[in-house]
């Protein structure tokens, strides 16, 4: 019981942090968003009210049955920033 009570706050904080997602693209420059995707390989960015997306720098960050497609999002300084790619499912 002690262990449970001790770990509960950490689990709740971790869950809240996970629910927040990634940085808000609307508050970033296009270059910053592009750099983040390139450096991290795969990034979750908020790109609209209550909308987030996962952006990747290459095919290696996608599942086997997917391919990459260009990802354009709105950033602070560019309404159509080519931030990287997203993983799209192949039609079967």
Assign 3-class secondary structure to 24-55: EHHHCCHHHHHHHHHHHCEEEEEEECCEEEEE
Higher-pLDDT residue of 37, 11? 37
Identify whether 35 is part of a domain. yes
State which residues form the domain around 36.
23-89
Identify whether 73 is part of a domain. yes
Identify whether 14 is part of a domain. no
Identify whether 38 is part of a domain. yes
**Residue 14 scores a pLDDT above 50:** no
Identify whether 47 is part of a domain. yes
Q: Is the pTM of this model over 0.75?
A: no
- At 34-46, the pLDDT tens digits run 999 999 999 999 9
Whether 26 and 71 have beta carbons less than 8 Å apart is answered as no
């Amino acid at each position: 019981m002690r262990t449970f009570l001790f770990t509960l706050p950490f689990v709740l904080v971790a869950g809240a942090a996970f629910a927040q997602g990634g940085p808000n693209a609307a508050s970033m420059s296009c270059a910053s968003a592009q750099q983040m995707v390139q450096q991290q390989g795969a990034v979750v960015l908020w790109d609209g009210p209550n909308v987030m997306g996962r952006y990747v720098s290459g095919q290696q960050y996608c599942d086997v049955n997917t391919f990459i497609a260009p990802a354009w999002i709105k950033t602070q300084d560019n309404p159509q920033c080519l931030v990287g790619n997203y993983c799209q499912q192949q039609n079967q």
